Amino acid sequence: MIAAMNITLTWDLFIIVFFAIVITYSFIIGRKEAIKIIIATYITIVAVQGMGNVFQRIVGETASVLNVLGITIETELLSITKLVLFIVIIIALAIKAGITVTYNHEPGLPMNAVFTGLFGFTTAGLLLTTLLTYTAGVPLLDTNLPNVATLSPIIQQSPLMQLMILNQDLWFSLPALALLVAGIVANRK
């Protein structure tokens, strides 16, 4: 007799699966490609935030004209636009930007595995925090993120989501710190 597993879909499960997928993908593509993903992610975050600001400014300047024409632009449109741009640009940068990663000395297999896992973990945190920020419709690193109406109920239900949102500044910083440590270790003589 096979016992049935009762799995409840929760935000905590979503976060665990998201991290597992990104970490696994990092091992599939390897350490150097995982570094390219981190670099592409940082570039994409800045580019999308800039484009979102321009879009918001244009909409704000043309709002009265659009209202006369009977066109209203919802704030959700900006969030959806940012999410779509984020996905498209990060894929394009990772595949076509020509970013190359080299080190003077390659670490051994165990250290390579540790760094690959670390890059996957920090990338997952960076990606998820960025997606949550765009979904909430607030600027990057906004300290008001935990109070956004769409995220507040989720924080109450999910300790992992609370960890992600309340520590957004850490998740934005960890990949850069991981790159610094890896560079110091790999380039020492």
**Dihedral sign (CA 137, 143, 149, 154):** positive
pTM recorded for the entire structure: 0.85
pLDDT at residue 84 tops 60: yes
CA angle 87, 92, 96 (to 5 degrees): 160
Q: What is the pLDDT of residue 2?
A: 62
What pLDDT does 12 receive? 92
Q: Where are the domains of the chain?
A: 14-23+33-186
- DSSP symbol at 141: T
Cβ-contact 103, 187 below 8 angstroms? yes
CA distance 137 to 173: 21
Single-letter code of the amino acid located at 110: P
